[in-house]
Chains A and B, each alone.
Chain A
Amino acid sequence: MSKNKRAAVSPGMMLERPLGKRIRDNWQLYAMLAVPIILTIIYKYIPMYGIQIAFRDYKASRGFAGSEWIGLEWFQRFFSAPTFGRMIKNTILLSFYSLLWGFPIPIILALMLNQMRFHKFKRATQTVLYAPHFISTMVICGMIRIFLSPSGGLINLIAGTSIDFLTESAAFRTIYIASGIWQDAGWGIIVYMATLSNVDTSLYEAAKVDGASMFQRILHIDIPELTSIMVLNLIMSAGGLMNVGFEKVWLLQTDLNKATSDVIAVYVYQQGIENAKYSYSTAVGLFNTAVNIILLIVVNKIAGKISEDTSFI
């Protein structure tokens, strides 16, 4: 009894105290925050400050702010690079097709699994569906290369052909997207399954009594429940349309499929880390981010306001 009473009173008491006293009372909490805050300043905020080298001719000896200001020269150089158009096109198309196929599949999987009444089977299915998410991109790409090998690769064995898929530009997007779905569609169902677990089960019972089929229950109960999270996911994905992951493209790229596999992320790495063209690479990365932000704003406008209860912040 007395404990409850104290618990109810204390927050009010805390608020009434002066700010200085409250800060002193909580010094241990601020001390806890020190390490995360210092790390974040050094490795997140200082690099943000370093973006300015996109407009400078960076020299290590002169630092971020001390290097010579040259304006938009790096951007002009990027826009006139011979592969500029190809990289933009490949980045957007790869991302767009990934979204087109990758977005609906987890939703369909979640809707199906949610209707599954055999709980052990359902749980086992989930376990298997999550598995590929826990495998390294390196291993996934190794598997892709093995399966697609022209001599003795699984796909060629089944089809009775000997095609070297990774040298075919036309096959690259399909390989990238199909393997991406294999790896992450299962993991993608979690957020939808979690949302669907909110549905009041009496709704299903009532619908069954009224003779609604499984398809009707999905259409009229489940999909409305998922709408806001679907919209939110779609907006976030659209904001990342220029964010084609570096790792998989780089591991699956060959000299012969570059017509479709040449993307901005790989270029940023090659110019920045391999060739040490720090300023130029930063400018390309900044351009990429700027396009993303514009896309995010546009899509957000089109989709209207996000409902407040799905905010992740």
Chain B
Amino acid sequence: MKANAKSGKLTGLSERSSDIVLVVICAVILFLVAYPLYYVLVASVSNPYDVYAGKTFLLPSQFTLDGYKAVFSDPSILTGLLNSFKYTIVGTVFSVVVLYLAAYPLSIKNLPGRKFISIFFIITMYFGGGMVPTYLVVKETGLINNMWALFLPGGVAVGNMIIVRNFFENSIPKAMTEAAEIDGASKWTTFIRIVVPLSRSIMAVMVVFSMVAYWNDWFTSMIYLPSPSKAPLPLVLRNILIKSSASASQASTISGGFAELNKMTEMIKFSSIIIAATPMLIIYPFVQKYFEKGFMAGAVKG
């Protein structure tokens, strides 16, 4: 090692060998992370008997799309899929609007009461009423079996609110907002016409975070939306993936007896995993470059 310091050539060589070691380690890690997903993808288009015989480690065996056909002809899964789309879209619009409504005023340094209101929100990050008192309030406000039970109790996502607030403070030029106000624009007009358009990057991140949260959620729905017709996709999948039971509709539509039903149940497991996971896996790479920036903005003391 000490010899390396004296010879530039040797240093270059050790740099290159540590590069190679790094790439190899990263490749192994990549494989460990990606392979389980790849395996499910391959299994979802293979004959389930071959999957269980270990013939699909690398490539599909007896390629078939029957699993996907079965998923898309199952009424309960289709209802779940539609519900999930609805909850994700409405929830994301609502959450991002509320987030912005809270974040912008709190980014104005000379707003009287700013500090007090900030603390009012931040306290809820660390303390809460817990599962049952929150449930009782949701019940009292008449939201059981109402989709707004998924959005309203979440209120303001305070961690995200701080990230957005700091973005407003650090990345929107004060000169622009102040010039607009001096020219007679109201605070609201300034917000809509200048601040919102200039914050598209952070908004994209918040939209993705929010979509992911609503698309993947099932616990809130399980508690607040007991009616089966309101269940989002992950909750419908619970019967298939966790309880391993075929739904009644599958049992009645599949002819060929128990073995065939069993085979379909196994196929549906793989294909429904792919269907549930794919939309978010497609979306997040588009905003990936903002993740680190967002966290930096959030960590800078405001």
Contact = CB atoms under 8 A, between A and B. Distances in A.
A11 B128 CA distance: 37
Interface string A38-81: 01101111111111010000101000100000000000000000
A174 interface: no
Contacts of B191: 32
B130 A29 contact: no
A256 interface: no
Interface stretch (B59-67, B70-78, B272-280): B272-280
B39 to A, nearest CB: 6
B120 interface: yes
Nearest to A138: B234
Given A10-B178, A26-B111, A313-B122, A129 B237 contact: no
A116 interface: yes
A6 B152 contact: no
Interface in A171-213: 182, 186, 190-191, 193-195, 197, 208, 210-211, 213
A86 B299 CA distance: 38
Nearest to B270: A146
Chain B interface bracket (under 10, 10 to 19, 20 to 34, 35 or more) = 35 or more
Interface in A117-140: 117-118, 121, 125-132, 134-139
B224 to A, nearest CB: 10
Interface string A8-37: 001100110001001100101110110111
Interface in B2-31: 2, 4-6, 11, 14-15, 18-19, 22-23, 25-26, 29-30
A291 interface: no
Interface stretch (A87-95, A96-104, A281-289): A281-289
B258 interface: no
B276 A136 contact: yes
Nearest to A280: B132
B30 A128 contact: yes
Contact of A32 (B101, B175, B244, B283): B101
Contacts of B33: 128-129, 131-132, 182, 186
B167 to A, nearest CB: 14
Contacts of A118: 19, 23
B131 A139 contact: no
Contacts of A14: 110
Interface string B29-44: 1101110110110000
Contacts of A48: 127-129, 133
Given A40-B155, A135-B277, A190-B291, A26 B112 contact: yes
B194 interface: no
A169 B162 CA distance: 41
B152 A3 contact: no
* 4 closest Cβ pairs, A-B complex: A47-B129, A211-B5, A152-B52, A142-B241
Interface of A: 3-4, 6-7, 10-11, 14-15, 19, 22-23, 26, 28-30, 32-33, 35-37, 39-40, 42-51, 53, 58, 60, 64, 109, 112-113, 115-118, 121, 125-132, 134-139, 141-143, 145-147, 151-152, 154, 157, 182, 186, 190-191, 193-195, 197, 208, 210-211, 213-215, 229, 246-247, 251, 268-269, 272-273, 278, 281-282, 285-286, 289, 308-313
Given A208-B11, A308-B301, 17 more contacts: A3-B175, A11-B109, A26-B187, A28-B186, A32-B191, A45-B124, A47-B136, A48-B128, A48-B129, A126-B288, A154-B36, A190-B292, A211-B4, A213-B14, A251-B238, A272-B132, A273-B223
9 contacts: A19-B112, A48-B133, A136-B217, A136-B218, A141-B242, A145-B242, A146-B270, A154-B36, A289-B127
